[in-house]
Amino acid sequence: MPRMTMAQALVKFLDNQYVSFDGEETKFVDGIFTIFGHGIVVGLGQAMDACPGSLKLYQGKNEQGMAHAAMAYAKMNNRRKIIACSSSIGPGSANMITAAATATVNNVPLLLLPADTFASRQPDPVLQQFEQPHSLSITTTDAYRPVVRYWDRIVRPEMLMSAMINAMRVLTNPATAGAVCIALPQDVEGESYDYPDEFFRKRIHLIPRRPASDEEVDSVADVIASSKKPFVICGGGVRYSEAGKTLVDFCEKFNIPYGETQAGKSATKSSERLNMGGFGVTGNSSGNEICQAADCVIGVGTRFSDFTTSSKSYFTNAKITTINVSDFDAYKLGAVHAVGDAKATLEKLEKALEKLNYKSKWTDEYDKAKAGWKKELSRLENYRYDDNFEPLIKAREKRTIPEFAELYGTDLTQTSALIYIMKHIAPDAIAVGSAGSLPGDMQRIWETDCLYSYNMEYGYSCMGYEIAGALGSKMAHPDREVYSFCGDGSFLMLHSELVTSIQEGMKINVCLFDNAGFGCINNLEMSNGVGNLGTEFRKRDSDGKLLGNLVKIDFAKCAEGYGLKTYSVRNLKELADALEDSKKQTVSTLIDLKVLPKTMTDGYDSWWHTGLSSVPANEQQKKAYENMTEKLDKARKY
């Protein structure tokens, strides 16, 4: 019965957690990311200084950034390894709430250990304490409650034991994985207790492969058997279950084409004949053509976001079936569902459909659709700013493109640059992204045959994940090149972990697509008849509006100051040279690509419900509203 502080016990406990998946044992907690401050540095900090065991300490630069890095680390380790994140009280802890939500939305385990104010209340209010007059028991960490899958506050040292067992239960279960918050009051961290030895024994959390029940599988099989043209959705659950090969075998056996969600991309090879690639709001033409022709959907490991269902304008007449470890997701769209592990359940479903002698009625429609997309891809690859130039996105402020071209002396288009990078980086390189126009382009365009090499956070689509997520991906795979695909808006929002990448010797490559603004949001507003309002990076003009000249930014110089090797790129030749040189570097690199606004891809026969003004201010807004009403009329209602 060793006497130790609550913080010491926490460290020792974390150091003894393991998971086992398909018989392979992995040490679960690698270390702790932190930005020390009061509330944590002499409590948990003392424990990490005195007795860290094999836990490593990492220093973050922004709490949200470090927690996003930790989340990416967990994702790229297929949820079998984590880095816990701790912070000081008040603002430090509040800064991790965004990351908590990001992790929960994406079903990625993230253990957060924010410091909390004194349980004793003796010195209240301490610096950085949030006080609520109607209840002194409310602190900043209460704000985690809506965005985590488990929440606890350790107000007595012995509470740690049940709290941590529950934290592990939630973090290691595929159906509940997400953020967990264990708040650590700053006095209790230093209080001690005679923790039983048993609490510190090596714990191996088995990650089970539970197949759905026979009855559920049969009910799904019956629905599929009555369909002619089913379509499989390959979601993130396929990746986490490592069910890619099983899914491809299943699709081949019954001749069923499939499409990938952002989370499902790279769970199977892009080159699979039946893989239509991205579909939905950010889908390509072939994915969208085939999924709309389907009379039955088999959603495997998907949460059916609006980007997947095209705001429920797709699949209106299709029967919906699902396979999911989470009953919450399995029940979506009123589906006939099978709750279970993707791989184990697909294997059962395959047998059930074999018994029914099932074969779909698809012929070569998917080959034709794919051939059409290949043609379009070649157009996007050869898209140039020449005499025949037309912006891919029509809605725009007319002066912006020539002004931008002149400001930077650039003729680079976004699609040609993206395709160039995709074709010239190592086959096993990892691509990371999350927000802006790039995720749409990438879901349509990005192809890879290297499994799990695509890390797009498109559940919360949180600006700021791009660079932090690249760092976490690199920490998970130090032997591979990692590329962050980041807009100028996202870069400006959060790039602090660049410095951590230098500090840790973790080389990441940032491909910064500078188009002088929140490009995709500018597209959204202007396509719906709203003016050019607050989305381009323009100076305030003499009329008091944000419609002056574009702000000129040298991002290469900015990153150079941190110690990165940087490049400024204005045409494909400069991009080729920069990319080649960046591969030779051992430090992190940044390529500042000056890409012409409005040269990202547009939609391919999809619809996104965004909520428009029912009191339109002009003819274009009126038309947009009417179009929305029409689409809503036909869309699924739930």
Ligand X SMILES: Cc1ncc(C[n+]2csc(CCOP(=O)(O)OP(=O)(O)O)c2C)c(N)n1
**Would you tell me which residues interact with Mg ion (CB under 5 A)?**
487-489, 515, 519
Q: What is the dihedral of CA 490, 496, 502, 505, to 10 degrees?
A: -80
Nearest distance from residue 466's CB to ligand X, in Å?
A: 8
The length of the chain, given as a count of residues: 638
Task: Rank residues 103 and 296 by Cβ distance to ligand X and give the closer one.
Answer: 103
Nearest distance from residue 553's CB to ligand X, in Å?
A: 11
Does 272 help bind ligand X (rule: CB under 6 A)? no
- Residues 31, 83: contact at Cβ < 8 Å? yes
Identify the H or E element spanning 113.
strand 110-116
Give the SS3 label for residue 236: helix
Does 520 help bind ligand X (rule: CB under 6 A)? yes
Q: Residue 315: which of Mg ion, ligand X, none does it interact with, CB under 5 to 8 A by kind?
A: none
Task: Rank residues 469 and 519 by Cβ distance to Mg ion and give the closer one.
Answer: 519
DSSP 531-599: -S-S-B-B---TTSSS-SSBPP--HHHHHHHHT-EEEEE-SHHHHHHHHHHHHH-SS-EEEEEEBPTT-
Task: Rank residues 283 and 489 by Cβ distance to Mg ion and give the closer one.
Answer: 489
The values of phi and psi at residue 151, to 5°, are -135, 135
- Other C-beta atoms closer than 10 Å to the C-beta of 456 total 28
Contacts of 494 (CB under 8 A, 6+ apart): 62, 64, 65, 463, 464, 467, 468
Task: Rank residues 462 and 547 by Cβ distance to ligand X and give the closer one.
Answer: 462
Task: Rank residues 324 and 461 by Cβ distance to ligand X and give the closer one.
Answer: 461
The CA distance from 449 to 143, in Å, is 41
Identify the H or E element spanning 48.
helix 44-50
Task: Rank residues 323 and 558 by Cβ distance to Mg ion and give the closer one.
Answer: 558
Does 321 help bind ligand X (rule: CB under 6 A)? no
Number of residues that bind ligand X (CB under 6 A): 19
Nearest distance from residue 313's CB to ligand X, in Å?
A: 21
- Residues 81, 56: contact at Cβ < 8 Å? no
Does 558 help bind ligand X (rule: CB under 6 A)? no
437, 484, 568, 582: which one contacts ligand X (CB under 6 A)? 437
Token pair belonging to 85: 């994140």
Q: Residue 521: which of ligand X, Mg ion, none does it interact with, CB under 5 to 8 A by kind?
A: ligand X
Residue type, 102: T
- Other C-beta atoms closer than 10 Å to the C-beta of 270 total 15
Distances (CA, A) of 541 to 405, 407, 545, 549, 550: 21, 18, 5, 8, 11
Stretches 218-226, 305-313, 383-391, 430-438: which one binds ligand X (CB under 6 A)?
430-438
212, 438, 470, 550: which one contacts ligand X (CB under 6 A)? 438
Nearest distance from residue 432's CB to Mg ion, in Å?
A: 17
Stretches 138-146, 148-156, 224-232, 513-521: which one binds ligand X (CB under 6 A)?
513-521
Distance of CA 544 to the CA centre of its chain: 38
Does 469 help bind ligand X (rule: CB under 6 A)? no
Does 512 help bind ligand X (rule: CB under 6 A)? no
454, 518, 555, 607: which one contacts ligand X (CB under 6 A)? 518
Does 304 help bind ligand X (rule: CB under 6 A)? no
The CA distance from 469 to 346, in Å, is 31
Q: Residue 576: which of Mg ion, ligand X, none does it interact with, CB under 5 to 8 A by kind?
A: none
Q: Residue 481: which of ligand X, Mg ion, none does it interact with, CB under 5 to 8 A by kind?
A: none
The residues in 445-464 that bind ligand X, with binding defined as CB under 6 A, are 461-464
Q: Residue 520: which of Mg ion, ligand X, none does it interact with, CB under 5 to 8 A by kind?
A: ligand X
Q: Which residue is nearest to ligand X (CB)?
A: 487
Nearest distance from residue 514's CB to Mg ion, in Å?
A: 7
Does 519 help bind ligand X (rule: CB under 6 A)? yes
Q: Which residue is nearest to Mg ion (CB)?
A: 487
Nearest distance from residue 137's CB to Mg ion, in Å?
A: 43
Q: Residue 443: which of Mg ion, ligand X, none does it interact with, CB under 5 to 8 A by kind?
A: none
- Residues 293, 273: contact at Cβ < 8 Å? no
- Helix intervals (H) in 116-258: 159-172, 214-225, 236-240, 244-254
Point out which residues bind ligand X (CB under 6 A). 435-438, 461-464, 487-490, 513, 515, 517-521
